[in-house]
Amino acid sequence: MASNSPAPEGIELQEEPTAGAWGEWNPTEDSARPPRGKHRVAKQRGGLARSSTVLGVGVIAAVGAGGIATAQDRPQVAISMPSLPDFGMGGGDGQRHAEAEGAAADTAASGKPTGIIAQQAARHTDAGATLVGRILQQADSQESAAEAQTRAQAEREAQEAAAAEAKAKREAAQKEVEDARLAAEKAAKEAKEAADAKAEQERIAKMAGGYSLPTSAYTLTSHYGDAGSMWSSGHHTGLDFAAPTGTPVKAVGAGKITSAGWSGAYGYRIVLELDDGTEIWYCHLSSMSVTSGSVGAGDTIGRVGATGNVTGPHLHLEVRRGGSTVDPLAWLESKGLNV
C-alpha cells in the first residue's frame, strides 16, 4: 500500500519499493537497538524531537508503502541527520570540567565561592558557625542566669539576716519598754502604798485629835496597877511596851520636851508636856534623840532600851495629870488610839 505522505524534511529516501519486495520484518536485538554515539542529540526547545524520533519517522515512511518486510532482505536506507542548534544541554564531561575549572578560578579571584559545591560547602560552614554561636550564646545565658540566681540568693539571705537583726532589736526595745513600764508601775504602786499609809496615819491622827501611839512592833507586858515587889510603890504605875532595843519611841501628841536625862530606877527618861499640861514619861530608853524643844505628834524622840531597874528591853510609859499617875491604856484609848 502506497503512502501519500511527504517525507520529513532533511531525510532522503530511496525509491519506493514495490509490493512484495519486502519480506516479513522480524526485528532482532541488533536491528532494534537504539542509536548510540553521534546519533544522540540534545532535546530541542519548543517541542522538537530527538534524532531517534526523526529516524523513526523516516523508517515508518520507508516501510509504509510496501508493508511489513524483513530488514535483512532490503538494502540499508541512507538517512541524513539535520544539523540541530546547541541548546546548552550537551558538552559532555569536558565541558563540565571546564566549567568547574572556571568556577574555581572565579572563586580564587573574588575570594567568594561561585560554584554549586563551593556554595553548598560555604553554606554548611556558615550553618556550623551559626550553631556554634548559638551554643555559646546559650551557655553564656545559662551562666548569666546562674550568676543572677546566686546574687539573688545572696541578696535574699542578706535581707533575711537584716530582718532577723531588726526583729531582735525591735524585741529588745520592746523588752526595755516593758521593763520600764513594769518598773514604773511598781514605783507607782509603792508610792501609792506609801501615800495610802500616810493618809491612813493622818486619818488616824485626825480621829485621835492629833495623837499617836508611842512605839510600834510591841507587846504589852505589864499594865497600870499591877502589884509586885519589883516596884517601889508596891504596884505598877505605868504601861510597859516590850520591844527590841532600838525601836523608835514617838511623841504621843504635840508639846515640848521639859526634861531629858538619867533618872535612877527609870534609867534614861524624857518628859513630854502636852499643850493641856499632861505629862508623858518615856523611861528605860537606850538613847534620846530630842532633849528639848517642841515636837509634834508622831515625831521620834528616843529609842527603846533596858536602862534602870528592868528585866528586859521595853518602854515604860507613864501619864501624869496634876502630879498624879493615871492609867496610860485608858488615856490612850480616850484619844482614839487602838492600843
State how far the Cα of 227 lies from the Cα of 235, in Å rounded to an integer. 4
* Reported confidence tier of residue 49, pLDDT bands at 50, 70, 90: very low
State how far the Cα of 223 lies from the Cα of 66, in Å rounded to an integer. 189
Pick from 285, 280, 317, 316: nearest CA to 297: 280
State how far the Cα of 121 lies from the Cα of 115, in Å rounded to an integer. 10
DSSP 262: E
pLDDT, tens only, 161-183: 999 999 999 999 999 999 999 99
Q: What local confidence, expressed as pLDDT, does residue 224 receive?
A: 92
State how far the Cα of 143 lies from the Cα of 139, in Å rounded to an integer. 6
Looking up cell 574555581, which residue turns up? 104
Question: What residues contact residue 218 under an 8 Å CB cut-off, 6+ apart?
Answer: 241, 242, 243, 247, 315
Q: What local confidence, expressed as pLDDT, does residue 59 receive?
A: 47
Burial environment of residue 103 by CB neighbours within 10 A (0 to 12, 13 to 18, 19 or more): middle
Q: What local confidence, expressed as pLDDT, does residue 130 receive?
A: 87
pLDDT at 339 over 50: yes
* Reported confidence tier of residue 281, pLDDT bands at 50, 70, 90: very high
Q: How many CA atoms lie within 13 A of 10 on its CB side?
A: 10
Whether residue 283 contacts residue 266, with contact meaning beta carbons closer than 8 Å, is answered with yes
- Rg for the chain (alpha carbons), in Å? 76
State how far the Cα of 246 lies from the Cα of 274, in Å rounded to an integer. 24
In DSSP terms, 316 is beta-bridged to 240, 283
Pick from 223, 220, 253: nearest CA to 236: 223
pLDDT, tens only, 192-236: 999 888 877 666 555 555 899 999 989 999 899 888 666 666 688
pLDDT at 91 over 60: no
Pick from 243, 225, 242, 246: nearest CA to 330: 225
39 vs 28, higher pLDDT: 28
In the chain, the amino acid numbered 321 is R
pLDDT at 48 over 50: no
Q: Which cell numbers in the block locate residue 179?
A: 521593763
How is 3-23 classified by DSSP, letter by letter?
--SPPPTT----PPPPTTSS-
Pick from 157, 158, 164: nearest CA to 172: 164
| Mean pLDDT across the chain | 77
pLDDT at 2 over 50: no
Angle between helices 92-110 and 116-207 (to 10 degrees): 40
* Reported confidence tier of residue 150, pLDDT bands at 50, 70, 90: very high
Q: Which cell numbers in the block locate residue 33?
A: 537497538
State how far the Cα of 40 lies from the Cα of 162, in Å rounded to an integer. 93
* Reported confidence tier of residue 33, pLDDT bands at 50, 70, 90: low
Whether residue 90 contacts residue 109, with contact meaning beta carbons closer than 8 Å, is answered with no
* Reported confidence tier of residue 323, pLDDT bands at 50, 70, 90: confident
Q: What local confidence, expressed as pLDDT, does residue 252 receive?
A: 96
125 vs 224, higher pLDDT: 224
Q: What local confidence, expressed as pLDDT, does residue 245 receive?
A: 96
pLDDT, tens only, 61-89: 554 544 444 445 555 555 555 555 554 44
Pick from 307, 311, 272: nearest CA to 293: 272
Burial environment of residue 309 by CB neighbours within 10 A (0 to 12, 13 to 18, 19 or more): middle
pLDDT at 238 over 80: yes
Q: What local confidence, expressed as pLDDT, does residue 226 receive?
A: 86
Pick from 118, 89, 93: nearest CA to 104: 118
* 143-168 mean pLDDT: 93
pLDDT at 332 over 90: yes
Looking up cell 540499508, which residue turns up? 76
